[in-house]
Amino acid sequence: MDFAVLPDSPAASAVTEPLTRGPGVQVIRHASGRPWIVGRWADRELTLVSAGARRLAVLGRSTVDRNRTARALADARTMGQLDDLARSLPGCFHLTVSFDGWTRAQGSVSTARQIFFTDVRGVTVAADGPRRLAELAHPGADRTPSVDPELLALRLLTPSPPWPLSLRPVWSKVSALGVGHRLELGPDGSARTVRWWRPPEPEASPEEAAERIRAALLACVATRAGSTLSADLSGGLDSTSLCFLADAVGADFVTHHWKPADRANDDTDWARRAAGHLPSARHHFAATQDSPTWYEGAHVDAGQEEGPLPWARNRAHMARLLASVAADGSGCHLLGVGGDELFGVLPTALWSLVRRHPLGSLSTIHRFRVLNRWSLASTVRGLADSASYAAWLRGTADRLTDPAPGPADALLTWGWEPRLPPWTTPDAVDAVRGLLRNAAEQEQPRAHHRDRAQHQTLDIVVQTGSGVRQLDAALGDSGVACEAPYLDDLVVEAALSVRVEDRLVSGDFKPMLRRAVRGIVPDEILARRSKGEFSAEAFQGMRRNRANLLDLCEDLRLSHLGLVDPDALRTALLSPKPQSRQLVPYENTLACESWLRSVAEPAPGAASLAGETS
């Protein structure tokens, strides 16, 4: 599916023609007769509801009550009065409304569905992806879009750029909607962004929160159950729960399990136990030697256009998996990502807990400090820190090239401490530092929520949603959509309502998810206390693919743009790494390089950060 959204404006006719080129393009019109939605989608991916001249379209996977939606559309006096309707829909989708000359467009809170927009000759055009908008916005006769090298440099950060910079597309002249915002296009072609959603206060009782989560998961999985679907059955709690939820809503589904490389990883044992409780599903267990390795294909076409793929290391593995489930008739594959983000425990939960229960939190803080081997000094320093989000963002600019925090450091700040890898050029370091400082000082961004645990949970959900969105686009040729029900709005909102103390139950792993799915997932499966670990896959992938990765350094596109020193990268690739976390900095660099080679290779004479030509 790909589409653009146009305002109900006479001026929009000038930008419509390029969007309607090519086979299979469909057009849905405003009541005025002007084009509203232009693109390609399957019939099952669109639900259109009308109430007089007003129209509402849901693009994606959702269950829409047409009568209720039509009433809400007819009764609304403003577009803002449709917020409750948008918040109530299960699934993952884009929503757009044609309303009395105005147009509304939005994606999902997690950005698994995102809206991008740009100005084309005074008319704002929105779309579900940035590449086509970049082409429209480019003033050149050939409409060749350009990549912003500074924003590409930002993508080298490990583990990821901090919010709000993480939302910025690498394409010049294209913007992305903020989290919880909608885009409103006026009759004159102008645009404004409006916040329609905020994270809830974490105040629900355990019983209330569990019931909300359970109802949301069942409703969201059911939106994918109309035809054969497939699901990961890793053996972990998140993906395994989705399999039992699919079974509970009567889905016809296939499960897939890759056996881990490390014999000490007991995921396969637990996956087989779960499969025994799911006799109506078809189960596939693939041996390690039959699966692609991590980093395989990092030197070839990345196959997607939005930007560097966050999970590029695993792209070949996912392509093989989707080909396998497609052969079984699946058109939708459920991923368990999002479960760790929503139901696991982030270190910042302790920062939040000590502010809710100053004395009652001390034993929990001590337990976590001992378990994670944090130093007493870093723990006390982190708990006492009261810096604003803007101040933290400004501080990250000063620490970009510092050594990464170690295992003894308690990370209780607003986010993971981002670092640039040692092969980043000084010009690229200066560019990223400037972006961070400008964002902190000029934009003065506020956190998603005043509570650090709430902010960081939502921030990681958004990063994961972006990864799912880009993975789905990269593997679109498989005919199987990648979907992550944990990232659906209803589930995210329900999970964020959990009190911090109820996330930190001693001896219980993901207590709120366990409580929510109890009775759907057998007690035997919920009793698991171990968790799989995949450093073996990382080391194996690096070892087997090192030669191809070294070949990249011979003609590094990132070097052409002045972002990476190829000799420093080559030296690092040849250096031993005793810990798997030391391999993480390679991932974003290889993703950026692969992407540049596939869709955004600098044209001859393109300017680099240093002001030179390649």
Q: What is the pLDDT of residues 273-298, one digit of tens each?
A: 999 999 999 999 988 766 777 777 65
The yes-or-no verdict on residue 600 having pLDDT over 60 is: no
d(CA 42, CA 452): 41
pLDDT of 612 strictly over 50: no
Distances (CA, A) of 62 to 1, 58, 95, 335, 340: 15, 8, 10, 17, 24
Give the pLDDT of residue 512.
96
CA–CA separation, 333 vs 325, rounded Å? 8
Where does 206-343+457-526 sit in CATH, by number?
3.40.50.620
Question: 134-153, pLDDT tens digit by residue?
Answer: 988 875 555 567 889 999 99
Residue ranges, comma separated, of all CATH 3.60.20.10 domains in the chain are: 2-195
- Averaged over 334-351, what is the pLDDT? 95
* pLDDT one-digit tens code per residue, 359-372: 999 999 999 999 99
pLDDT at 613 over 70: no
Query: pLDDT for 526-541, tens place per residue?
Result: 998 877 777 777 777 8
pLDDT tens for each residue of 434-458: 999 999 999 889 999 999 999 999 9
Q: What's the pLDDT band for 602 if we cut at 50, 70, 90? A: very low
In this structure, which long-range contacts are made by residues 375-379, counting pairs with CB atoms below 8 Å and at least 24 apart in sequence?
375/408, 375/409, 375/410, 378/408, 378/409, 378/410, 379/410, 379/412
263: pLDDT strictly greater than 90:
no
pLDDT score of 518:
97
49 has pLDDT over 90 = yes
Tell whether the model's pLDDT for residue 606 goes beyond 80.
Answer: no
Q: What is the pLDDT of residue 94?
A: 98
Q: What is the pLDDT of residue 297?
A: 66
Helix (H, G, I), strand (E, B) or coil at 159: coil
- pLDDT computed for residue 550 by the predictor: 86
CA dist 170 and 225 (Å) reads 35
β-partners of residue 483 are 334
Return the pLDDT at 539. 79
According to CATH, where is 3.40.50.620 located in the chain? Answer: 206-343+457-526
At the fourth CATH level, the homologous superfamily of domain 2-195 is Aminohydrolase, N-terminal nucleophile (Ntn) domain (3.60.20.10)
Cα 487 to Cα 473: distance, rounded to the nearest angstrom: 17
Q: What is the mean pLDDT of residues 18-46?
A: 93
Phi, psi of 115 (to 5 degrees): -115, 125
The confidence score (pLDDT) of residue 614 equals 36
Q: How confident is the model at residue 300 (pLDDT cuts 50, 70, 90)?
A: low
* 268 Cβ neighbours under 8 A, 6+ residues apart: 235, 257, 259, 260, 285
pLDDT at 604: 39
Structure tokens at 392: 């933290």
Distance CA 302, CA 471 (A): 10
What pLDDT does residue 418 have?
A: 95
- Sign of the CA dihedral with 363 first, then 367, 368, and 369 last: positive
Position 443: which residue type? E
- CA within 13 Å, CB half, 589: 29
In the predicted model, is pLDDT for residue 607 greater than 60?
Answer: no
The pLDDT value recorded for residue 216 is 98
Do the Cβ atoms of 155 and 588 come closer than 8 Å? yes
Where does the pLDDT of residue 17 fall: very low under 50, low under 70, confident under 90, or very high at 90 and above? confident
Residue 142: the pLDDT is 55
Share of the chain above pLDDT 90, in %: 74
